[in-house]
Structure formats: structure tokens, C-alpha cells
């Protein structure tokens, strides 16, 4: 159970306990016995879960909360109720605050393949480090994983190519730039009238094999819009432009006109934008100003103004203004 969910459960449990503790003028409980039993079980469960969750990071708070909860079972007075309530609010606020950090940590685990212990070590070591030094620490952990994986499975992790949309979320690459190496047509054909016939309605038109400083491995980038496939084909079908992919750089970025949650496109327009630039442009773009484009990409510097309607084409940007 996530910490935020546990915090919400705690609030619900407290409301339930208040409802079940109603008394009449004679001091007798007026709530149904079933409600009182459910409330007691819920509070016990929350107390145990909260203490377990807080034990490693907030041991003193966990001990105080547990002691306060046990005292209320045998002795109830106004001061005890006040202390217990204050501790309860403090525990819920701690759980809520912990929940805010769980999502980015889970993203780090998923994106970089790190376990919980490694994430904890990185967080401790990150104090005062630059973005470049932080990335180097993550890279060191990844290299260790790759080495261990090769020794155990006999497979080099560099030979495993993750796919955007599967192993890597679309949301992680929005507006980021990639260098294209290969164009996999995936069985899709284009006739002389530029009509496309895909191999399957359930598969992308094709794939781009690409890499970027934001990731350690090369990736397969699915081409999910017919216009994006035609743009890629216009480069690789032209001998002169195809040669530029080798001698210079063919860059691509995923930038939908309207963005939905999880990075998906919310419009019928094409989503990939291409530019041919001089060799070394991508590395210069990501290394400038203390790697600022790692966190805040500005793809227009490489691709110019995005075009979604009318004439769309591969940009020739021989002298990008970085």
C-alpha cells in the first residue's frame, strides 16, 4: 500500500472512530455494535501499518504513536485524547509527505532499473551534486547491473533494445531529441501515389532505431502516424539524404500537438518532427549550460517551429542556434 493511500485510510479510520464513539446523556454508546467493532479493527490495522511504514525513517514517532494507541485502550482522559489526536495528525501528515516522494522514486526505479537500496544510497549521496554528477552515479549503478546480468544470463544488456511505449513511457521522452541510425519499415509499403499499406492494423507503421543522452541504451521508437512514416521514408529513400544520416545527424523528437496523460497524443496530427543537422549537434545541445536541456528541453532550437498542418517536411538545420 502506498503511503498516500495509507494516509487517506487513516483519515477515514478517524472519522469512523468519531462516528462510533457517540454517547447519549447517560454515557452509553449509541452507535451499533457492528460499527464499533469495525471501527476498532480499522484503527488497529491502521496503527500497525503506520508504525511499520514509519519504523525505519521515523522510529521515535512510530514508538510514540504505538504507545499512545495502547494507552487509550486501558485509560481514556481528555489529555490522553488530545495527545493521541496530535500524534495521529502528525503521523498522517508524515505519511502524506512520504507519498509525494514515492512517485518520483518509482519513476527512477523503472527508468534506470535501480532497486530501493540503491535509490536510498543515491539520495544520500546527491546532496550538493550537480546534474552531471547525479547522472554519473545513476550510470555507475546501471553498469553494475549490466555486468551482473551478463555474468548470470550470459547476455550483454547493450544488445537489448527497449521500445518506447512498452519498456519506456512516452511521457519520459516528450520534447526530447534523439539521433536516428536505422529505419525499420516493419513490412509497411508505400506505392507511387504515397498510399501506405501497413503489415498489420495492430502494429506501428515502422520503427526508428535511435539514441539520446537522456538514455543509456539505444531504443526502438514506434512510428504510429502515416505522415511520420512518409517523412522517414523520404529521407532513407533519397540517396543524398540517406548519406547525410551517416555523415551528419538525423534528429527526431516526439512532440504531439495536444498531450494526454501518460504522454499519449490527444490529436489526429502527426507527432514526430525531424531535422538534419551537423555532426555533434545533439551532444552539444544536451551538454550546454550544465545539461539544462535534460530537465527542460527546448526542441525548437533543433527543429524550428513545429508544423502540424499543411506542408510538413524534414528540416535542414545546418547551423542550429544553440
Each residue's pLDDT tens digit, 200-250: 888 999 999 999 998 878 899 999 999 999 999 999 999 888 888 888 999
Mean pLDDT of 150-165: 75
Task: From residue 275, give the alpha-carbon distance in Å to each of 229, 263, 319.
Answer: 14, 22, 11
Instruction: Look at residue 272 and tell me whether its pLDDT is greater than 90.
Output: yes
Look up residue 230 and give its three cell numbers. 512518409
* DSSP character at residue 16: H
Per-residue pLDDT, averaged over 132-149, amounts to 70
- Exposed/middle/buried for 50, CB within 10 Å: 0-12, 13-18, 19+? buried
The C-alpha angle 164, 168, 169, rounded to 5 degrees, equals 85
Q: Tens of pLDDT along 61-116? A: 888 888 888 887 777 777 878 888 888 888 888 888 877 666 655 665 555 555 66
Averaged pLDDT, 160-171: 89
Helix spans in the chain (H): 3-20, 33-54, 59-74, 78-112, 116-125, 131-153, 226-236, 239-247, 281-295, 300-303
In DSSP notation, 113-159 reads: ---HHHHHHHHHHTTT--HHHHHHHHHHHHHHHHHHHHHHHS--GGG
**If residue 207 lies in a helix (H) or strand (E), which one and from where to where?**
strand 206-211
pLDDT value of position 157:
62
The lowest-confidence range among 29-33, 65-69, 275-279, 290-294 is 29-33
Amino acid at each position: 500500500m502506498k503511503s498516500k493511500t495509507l494516509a487517506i485510510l487513516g483519515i477515514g479510520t478517524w472519522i469512523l472512530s468519531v462516528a462510533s464513539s457517540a454517547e447519549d446523556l447517560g454515557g452509553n454508546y449509541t452507535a451499533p455494535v457492528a460499527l464499533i467493532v469495525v471501527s476498532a479493527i480499522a484503527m488497529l490495522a491502521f496503527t500497525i501499518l503506520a508504525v511499520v511504514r514509519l519504523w525505519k525513517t521515523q522510529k521515535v514517532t512510530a514508538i510514540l504513536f504505538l504507545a499512545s494507541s495502547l494507552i487509550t485502550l486501558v485509560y481514556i482522559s481528555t489529555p490522553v485524547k488530545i495527545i493521541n489526536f496530535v500524534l495521529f495528525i502528525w503521523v498522517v501528515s508524515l505519511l502524506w509527505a512520504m507519498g509525494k516522494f514515492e512517485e518520483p522514486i518509482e519513476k527512477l526505479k523503472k527508468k534506470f532499473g535501480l532497486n530501493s537500496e540503491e535509490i536510498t544510497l543515491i539520495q544520500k549521496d546527491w546532496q550538493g551534486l550537480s546534474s552531471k554528477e547525479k547522472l554519473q552515479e545513476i550510470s555507475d549503478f546501471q553498469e553494475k547491473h549490466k555486468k551482473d546480468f551478463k555474468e548470470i544470463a550470459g547476455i550483454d544488456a547493450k544488445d537489448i533494445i527497449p521500445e518506447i511505449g512498452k519498456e519506456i513511457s512516452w511521457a519520459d521522452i516528450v520534447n526530447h531529441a534523439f539521433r536516428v541510425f536505422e529505419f525499420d519499415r516493419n513490412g509497411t509499403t508505400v506505392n507511387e501515389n504515397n498510399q501506405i499499406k501497413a503489415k498489420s492494423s495492430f502494429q506501428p507503421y515502422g520503427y526508428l532505431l535511435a539514441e539520446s543522452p537522456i538514455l543509456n541504451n539505444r531504443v526502438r521508437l514506434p512510428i504510429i502516424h502515416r505522415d511520420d512514416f512518409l517523412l522517414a521514408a523520404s529521407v532513407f529513400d533519397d540517396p543524398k539524404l540517406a548519406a547525410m544520416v551517416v555523415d551528419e545527424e538525423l534528429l527526431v523528437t516526439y512532440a504531439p500537438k495536444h498531450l494526454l496523460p501518460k504522454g499519449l497524443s490527444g490529436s489526429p496530427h502527426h507527432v514526430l518532427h525531424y531535422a538534419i543537422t551537423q555532426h555533434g549537434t545533439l551532444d552539444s545541445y544536451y551538454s550546454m549550460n550544465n545539461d539544462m536541456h535534460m530537465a527542460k528541453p527546448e526542441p525548437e532550437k533543433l527543429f524550428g517551429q513545429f508544423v502540424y498542418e499543411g506542408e510538413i517536411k524534414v528540416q535542414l538545420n545546418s547551423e542550429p542556434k544553440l
